[in-house]
C-alpha cells in the first residue's frame, strides 16, 4: 500500500482507508479547544501507522471507528471525525 495525496474529508467514501499522519492543523488555531483524550487518540493513530477505514461521511467530515487495547487488556472503542490536513488516503498496489 502506498499513501496518496491529502484531500478534503468530504471526498472520501465509505470503505476508503486512510492513515493519520499528523495532528489536524486547525487545532493550532488560537482559542481552539480539543479535549486531551481526543489528542491522545490522534497521537496513538499516528504512532500506530495503521490505516483506518471510513464508516461514515457527512457534512462534518469523514468518520472512523478505532479499537484500541489498553495496557490492562481491555478493548476500547472510539469514533472520531477526521479533520482536513491530518491524514492521507491509502491505496493498494495492483500487481501484474
Any domain includes 8: yes
Domain that holds residue 66: 2-91
Does the structure show a pLDDT above 50 at 2? Answer: no
Any domain includes 96: no
Tell me the pTM: 0.76
Any domain includes 80: yes
Task: Give the pLDDT confidence of 54-90 residue by residue, as tens digits.
Answer: 988 887 778 888 887 778 888 888 888 888 888 998 8
Any domain includes 36: yes
Contact present, 49 and 3 (Cβ < 8 Å): no
Does the structure show a pLDDT above 90 at 21? Answer: yes
Does the structure show a pLDDT above 70 at 7? Answer: no
**Structural domain tally of the chain?**
1
Any domain includes 71: yes
Any domain includes 41: yes
- Band the pLDDT of 1: cuts 50, 70, 90: very low
Amino acid at each position: 500500500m502506498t499513501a496518496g495525496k491529502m484531500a478534503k474529508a468530504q471526498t472520501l467514501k465509505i470503505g476508503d482507508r486512510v492513515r493519520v499522519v499528523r495532528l489536524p492543523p486547525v487545532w493550532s488555531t488560537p482559542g481552539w479547544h480539543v479535549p486531551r483524550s481526543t489528542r491522545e487518540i490522534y497521537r496513538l493513530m499516528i504512532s500506530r501507522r495503521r490505516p483506518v477505514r471510513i464508516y461514515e461521511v457527512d457534512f462534518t467530515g469523514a468518520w472512523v471507528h478505532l479499537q484500541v487495547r489498553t495496557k490492562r487488556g481491555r478493548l476500547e472503542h472510539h469514533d472520531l471525525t477526521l479533520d482536513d490536513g491530518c491524514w492521507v488516503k491509502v491505496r493498494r498496489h495492483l500487481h501484474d
